[in-house]
Structure 1
């Protein structure tokens, strides 16, 4: 019996060696489904569209946004309450990424200073100066630092606005 199985095993190995590689051919990174080609050590932040913010299913409560000009780079919302966390969304390398506050404290804590975490990502929005809001809410000059694993930090000046 051993004589029958040994030749079949050798035949199976020979056929497997001649079979085509089951892994797909590599594609051009600039046109692949993985998004745009980004140089190593960097990442690309892009403005969020209203549809992308809506699709993020953020809490229907009070919110904050980090803006540069007319562009929103971070949108976040949180319920009021000491045991609540803020949830947000950003667009990195062409894809929306969910972020959340690493601590509880609800909207009040989030609006004072926006600290967020995501997959291999930390975001720190540090407001400065006087409140520029003319009505309800807050609007501060701010600096957003985005740290991503394996990439250089990005520091961006903008406006941190929070309110209803």
Structure 2
């Protein structure tokens, strides 16, 4: 399933965007914030729909509170069909983390029996950002750790599959660690397969 991640000036666009978000969050009153408006659904079905059985809406995913760091919140947004379509993730098989309310927060692809890392994406404060984990597809099937610029994203599988089939989902927790020591966790499920 081909994906592509596009930015203008890779480091510049993400750094400027991250700085702007940090400044806005730092100056805002958290008690007055409301949930973002969902995006309009896309009329086209992306190739990624085989991996991500989700809508194209983009509400902020619910979870626990951010702890540690500089006090600013960690915000992960649901990946939309367009985000998944634009990512360029090489690999034969993939995995995804889906929250308890059905929002996809991370997708990753890799090759079986490969020494190349698996590649994935998360959407941090509205920006799609790359992450990777060692060991190809085999390295991401059971409690992987993904690394990216200024972040570590850990998936901890917490139980056995609740259903059968070739690619059953398993209960899991996604924990996002920011470079400044901030951390936030989301409950959900980890599903890997074709």
Fold shared per TM-score above 0.5 = yes
Deviations 1:74-130 (A, max 9, x none): 1111111241211000000110110001x2x22122011221000110011010211
Instruction: Kindly indicate whether residue 76 of structure 2 is the aligned counterpart of residue 45 of structure 1.
Output: yes
Q: Which residue of 1 aligns with 2:45?
A: none
Q: Which residue of 2 aligns with 1:13?
A: none
Instruction: Kindly indicate whether residue 122 of structure 2 is the aligned counterpart of residue 90 of structure 1.
Output: yes
**What aligned pairs does 1:149-160 form with structure 2 within 5 A after superposition?**
149-150=179-180, 152-160=182-190
CA drift at 1:34: 3.9
**What aligned pairs does 1:106-117 form with structure 2 within 5 A after superposition?**
106-117=136-147
Q: Secondary structure at the match of 2:83?
A: helix
Q: Which residue of 1 aligns with 2:88?
A: 57
TM-score (norm 1): 0.72
**Residue ranges of structure 2 left out of the alignment (5+ in a row):** 1-18, 27-70
Q: Secondary structure at the match of 2:25?
A: coil
Deviations 1:131-151 (A, max 9, x none): 234211231100111001225
- The runs of 4+ residues in structure 1 deviating greater than 6 Å are none
Contact 2:91 2:118 in 1 (8 A): no
Q: Which residue of 1 aligns with 2:111?
A: 79
TM-score (norm 2): 0.62
**Distance in structure 2 (CA, Å) of the matches to 1:79 and 1:85:** 9
Q: Which of the two has higher C-alpha Rg?
A: 1
Deviations 1:33-89 (A, max 9, x none): 945832343221110001101211111421111101221001111111241211000
Contact 1:62 1:78 in 2 (8 A): yes
The structure with more strand, counted as a fraction of residues: 1
**Distance in structure 1 (CA, Å) of the matches to 2:97 and 2:184:** 14
- Figure out how many residues of one structure are paired with residues of the other and give that number: 131
